[in-house]
Structure 1
Amino acid sequence: GMDTVMDALLAAILAGIIWTGAGNSLRVARLREHLPELHARKLTRRAIPVENATPLSEALRRANEAGARALVIVDGLGDPTGIVRESAIASVPEHRRPWVAAGTLAQDLTDGMKVSADLTGEELLDHLRTTPATEYLVLQNDGAIYGVLSTLDVEKAFVKAMARPQS
């Protein structure tokens, strides 16, 4: 009677633990399989350099003309100093954009916000975890601006890769 019910309950609990552990193992294996598919170069948005005082409307016009989706603030020598946050651009009403300097919407660059265009997989994720930010400046090996990497784009690519069946 009671011993049989207890045995059945313990067996069900044990089966649940084993099932959960097996599912987690499969997810980790899938994660490891798809990590190499993450490439900073492939996920980077094209960016154009603009100076600090450039009106936002003009900076956006130049970006649209160049087919770019991001703005990088540069100093007089062309060295990057900040990234204009996408969320900040969206918060400025269109009629105010001619009077707002692009530089006022920028986040100052730190060393951790600079990413090599050649980073892939686990190295890329480790870098993003070490220095959390919403956007990163992606640089070529020679230090030239390649573009801007959004953590949202990395997350979307990762979810898409994880949704594909294993090979």
Structure 2
Amino acid sequence: MTKNAGWVPRPVVRSIERVDDSRAMTPLPPGRGRPVGRVAGIPVYASASMLLLAVLVTIVYGDYAREELGLAQPWAYLLGSGFVVCLIGSVLLHELGHALIARRFGIGVRRITLELLSGWTEMDRDAPTPRVDALVSLAGPAVSLLLGGAATAVMLVLPERALTREVAFQLALSNVLVAFFNVLPGLPLDGGRALRALLWAVLRDRNRATVVAGWAGRGLAVVTAAVVLLLQQLGVVTMLGLIFVLLVVLTLWQGAGQSIRLGRMTGRFPLIDLGALARPLLTVPAGTPLGEAQRRRAQDPRPDVVLAVADAAGSLTALVDPVAAERVPVGRRPWVSVESVARSRDALTVLPLGLTGEQVVRALQAHPGVQYLVTAGEDVVGVLRVADVAAVLEPRRASRN
């Protein structure tokens, strides 16, 4: 599988400058997992769930080797752990297929993360064209298919009862199954990304293509769950196999839902207008009691006014933090100065008027916060609240809240 990560501006720059519109915004990497090394210069991370996978597969395969191959207990589980290493190596090579093809087309690769049921290749931007998107997506399954073929060739030349032949058989089977499953046409699978690339080329709209491919992924999840439940009732699949496949189905369903949500959100980026969303300012002098500042705001006829603090020269120095202000007991507000619940202007990210919706979202992701200063040249013209952007991107969720 592949996952893209949003482009992050230089963290030392607090004022967000205009950036290249060709870089599509996608979510920032989740940051999970611990670094385990580098391959081809790409950082590789392993999540805590990988340990669970290693233990589970070692036990299951060790029990199989002990019962079916007649190995003594220590050697059976040693064989199981060897199979785990080969399996993780196969997943890593699958992800390297994505990563190296992405780099071939000038897409930076931030990291590879190995998880319980899959791996992720996180790139710094989306593919620029449907063709590149399809090639990057299908590179991983192609590597898995090649590994399956190589393991099959090794198996055929090994002696009939050799333990290495059994391991080669399992590797061949697992890689072919991984290749087959990943090319199924539904996000977040690699085949779903290829389907999106095809729809993107036909519809000329990447966001709509993402939503459609996400729903295809949910359809695949439902069909897979129904089939495996039927096979379990017929005795073809064991209870352990049923649980494993249902975990895969759950992962597929959640990933498809995230893809649908992302496609809808990115399609609404053009609706983000800083000038329209910026809330007006009401400045009060430093030293003003919080209660008095809130009284003035209540009397201001403008809707959604944001309290700000000004120095003796009338220059804006800070914004009142609405959360911190609400935490002050009502009885104490006449005795608490407004700047004690304010955040310094220097600590706030500046968003100049004229940024596109995509650039605004990138800035908010790169510099998480509640409030942002909106400027026109040297003048502060208003305040953007992240909740207002969220309401534009996901109006249904905002209405429920």
Which TM class, normalised by the smaller chain length? 0.7 to 0.9
> Take 1:91 and 1:18, find their aligned partners in 2: how far apart are those partners?
41
| Larger RCO, structure (CA 8 Å, separation 6 or more) | 1
Normalising by the residue count of structure 2, what TM-score does the alignment of the two structures yield? 0.34
Query: Does the 8 Å contact 1:37/1:161 carry over to 2?
Result: no
The residue aligned with 1:31 is 265
Change (3 A) 1:18 1:128: closer
The residue aligned with 1:109 is 345
* 1:138 is aligned to 2:367: no
The residue aligned with 1:152 is 387
Q: 1:84 deviation in Å?
A: 0.5
1:53 maps to which of 261, 273, 287? 287
Unaligned 5+ residue runs, structure 1? none
2:374 corresponds to which letter in structure 1? V
Query: Does the 8 Å contact 1:46/1:70 carry over to 2?
Result: yes
Query: Does the 8 Å contact 2:348/2:373 carry over to 1?
Result: no
1:83 match: secondary structure: strand
Larger radius of gyration between Structure 1 and Structure 2: 2
Q: 1:61 deviation in Å?
A: 1.9
Query: Does the 8 Å contact 2:373/2:384 carry over to 1?
Result: yes
Normalising by the residue count of structure 1, what TM-score does the alignment of the two structures yield? 0.74
Report how many aligned residue pairs link the two structures. 160
* 1:42 is aligned to 2:280: no
Change (3 A) 1:30 1:96: same
Change (3 A) 1:94 1:18: closer
> Take 1:18 and 1:91, find their aligned partners in 2: how far apart are those partners?
41
Query: Does the 8 Å contact 1:39/1:121 carry over to 2?
Result: yes
Question: Over aligned residues, Cα RMSD in angstroms?
Answer: 3.4
* 1:83 is aligned to 2:319: yes
Q: 1:104 deviation in Å?
A: 0.8
Query: Does the 8 Å contact 1:45/1:69 carry over to 2?
Result: yes
1:65 maps to which of 299, 304, 327? 299
Q: 1:38 deviation in Å?
A: 1.5
> Take 1:105 and 1:111, find their aligned partners in 2: how far apart are those partners?
14
Change (3 A) 1:119 1:111: farther
> Take 1:111 and 1:92, find their aligned partners in 2: how far apart are those partners?
22
1:149 match: secondary structure: strand
1:147 corresponds to which letter in structure 2? G
Query: Does the 8 Å contact 1:31/1:162 carry over to 2?
Result: no
Change (3 A) 1:156 1:27: closer
What percentage of aligned pairs have identical amino acids?
A: 32
> Take 1:151 and 1:21, find their aligned partners in 2: how far apart are those partners?
25
Change (3 A) 1:91 1:122: same
1:160 corresponds to which letter in structure 2? P
Query: Does the 8 Å contact 2:285/2:311 carry over to 1?
Result: yes
Change (3 A) 1:58 1:25: closer
Provide Cα deviations, 1:62-108, integer angstroms capped at 9, x if missing partner. 22222353111122222222111001111122222211110111111
> Take 1:43 and 1:57, find their aligned partners in 2: how far apart are those partners?
27
The residue aligned with 2:44 is none
Q: 1:142 deviation in Å?
A: 3.5
Change (3 A) 1:131 1:20: closer
Q: 1:130 deviation in Å?
A: 1.9
Q: 1:24 deviation in Å?
A: 5.6
Change (3 A) 1:162 1:61: closer
Query: Does the 8 Å contact 2:391/2:397 carry over to 1?
Result: no
* 1:122 is aligned to 2:358: yes
Change (3 A) 1:122 1:97: same
